[in-house]
Structure 1
Amino acid sequence: MTEQGRGEQTRRQIVETAIRLFGELGYEKTTMRAIASAAGVSVGNTYYHFASKEALLREFYLQLVREHAAAAEAVLDAGGGFAEQLIGVLDAGLTVWGPYHEFAGRFIGLAAVPRSPVSPFGEESAESREISLDLFTRLVANTPTKMDDGLRSELPELLWLLQLGVVVYWVHDETPGQTRTRKIIAKGAPYLENIVGLSRLKLFRPVITQGLGILKLIR
């Protein structure tokens, strides 16, 4: 294995150990020294890769986003209707996040704190956010569903926000394998496709314009 490969392996080992300890001991009680010891890595080497626990969380989130994007490639390559692709993309995310369901609630709690360094809206999460937005940009670009041009330009960000909402619901879903969340996605995506399709009709344009105006205020 090359030195770069060993470095990546060490980084992943540190991150996976940290997430396990965060889940077992709690974020506040887990120290960098404890993470290093459990990962079998020196404290100095741990700080070499990650300057803080916040940096570890950002890396964890980035890894999941990258894995989600990779898993969704097959969905986008296969094509299909808007609802079909959206279901596939969101379902791929649930599959990637699945092993971390117990910890996800704690992560979201940390991310929800104002000015949190792991907030999905913060500067520190820019790379993760751009990867996700690119995923939904490709979905919208490839869909055969006709829609209002203004909505088309804003839809990737709306779908990203939708995904964040799905994750919050998924965290609270206690059904086996979080099947309720998957059922909601399966039933909700065709409904959303109908709304998107209606946006091109003149009758609905004022509503769409008003909605996009609200989105601009959220930014």
Structure 2
Amino acid sequence: MSTTAAPMAPQAAAAPLAPQAATAAKYVYLTFDDGPHPKCTAQILAILRRYGVRATFFQIGENAARRPYLTRRADQYGHSVQNHTWSHPNLRKVRWSTFKSQVQSTDRVLRRQTGYTPRCLRPPYGATNSVVAKRAAALGKRVTLWSVDTGDWARPGTSVITRRVLTRVRSGSVVLMHDGGGNRSQTVAALPTILRTLKARGYTFYALWCS
């Protein structure tokens, strides 16, 4: 989410986009928005690696341009790196030329570090409608929202973030968290308990690719 504005409620949670490999009886998609952040993204990547978990990072283009080594690291660790626009505008309120520039500029930066063009687009604030979906499709993108919102952007406390995930998650859930856009130390602190508990419950973790 933006560092200057609270998120708008999404119009509707997109259906989980399960890759062919998602054949486990219970599975979940962990997603992180607004990075890469020099401290929090690095910490989250280290925790995910420790637990052998793959996730999806929806990155802001201007952040990835400043910290390409973190985009590269996420890719090297086997995570999916996807498009969250260049500077986090509300895509329902921009003209086509701005929409295209926001998405394609981010694609170019991410492609340089990962070798592939993102297929998923997460609209900032979850702000989407039929026009956003059509424009995304014209650029080869699939709008990708979430089904479990931790609200971690508001820093509600580590225990609250943990509880929201563990009480709301179901097989196929797409969980929204943040590694950027502000101080995400609470998210970092919550992540080990979330991973340990979901693993103990028999969940497998997959990344989103929208292919």
Q: TM-score range by the shorter chain?
A: under 0.3
Q: Which has the higher contact order (CA 8 A, sep 6+)?
A: 2
Larger helix proportion of the pair = 1
TM-score, normalised with respect to structure 2: 0.28
Q: Which has the larger radius of gyration?
A: 1
The two structures have a TM-score, normalised by structure 1, of 0.27
Structure with more of its chain in strand, by fraction: 2
